[in-house]
Amino acid sequence: MYEMTCPKCSTQILPEWFFCPHCGNILQEKTFSVSIMSQLGMYAASFLLAPIGLHWAFRYLKIKDAKAKRLGIIIIILTILSISLTVGTFMKIANAYSNTLNNLNKLNSINDVGKMFSYFRVGFTVRAKRELFRA
């Protein structure tokens, strides 16, 4: 049943054990591996689909492995970056929109002034015609 022995204390061990139960010698690096492609995919997704990455981030942060933790932290940073960029862009768009609305309001008031002037003009013409015909 036991096919291997601990190189340090020669206790018989199973090949899937990560450390020797007798001396605590680490027998194999906990192979936490996520392929570069799926890492990049997760980075892209956490940036582009903002809060979705946090689900992975918390899962990776729970794993006791430096690489997994780093992955989780990068995902969180990307998520924060993405959200702040989105909020910034949204604020810019909102500002531009309210500026446009303000300008439209200004245009409307200019139109009102224009209408007033044309009413005056019509009034003057009508009065002028009346006076001409009376004369």
Any alpha helices (H) in the chain, and if so which ranges?
A: 36-48, 54-62, 66-134
* Candidate ranges 1-9, 29-37, 46-54, 67-75; the one touching Zn ion (CB under 5 A): 1-9
Site string for Zn ion, 3-22 (x = CB under 5 A): ---x-xx-x--------x-x
Residue pointed to by tokens 């015909």:
133
What's the min distance (Å) between Cβ of 24 and Zn ion?
Answer: 7
- 23/104 with CB nearer Zn ion: 23
Tell me, by CB under 5 A, how many residues bind Zn ion. 8
Question: In the complex with Zn ion, which residue's Cβ is closer, 6 or 68?
Answer: 6
| Cα separation, 83 vs 130, whole angstroms | 69
- Amino acid in the structure at residue 75: I
CA angle 21, 27, 28 (to 5 degrees): 135
Structure tokens at 93: 């768009």
> How is residue 18 annotated by DSSP?
S
User: What is the CB neighbour count within 10 angstroms for residue 58?
Assistant: 12
Residue closer to Zn ion, measured from CB, 20 or 42: 20
Tell the smallest beta-carbon distance from residue 41 to Zn ion (Å): 39
| Of positions 4, 19, 25, 39, contacts Zn ion by CB under 5 A | 25
Binding site for Zn ion (CB under 5 A): 6, 8-9, 11, 20, 22-23, 25
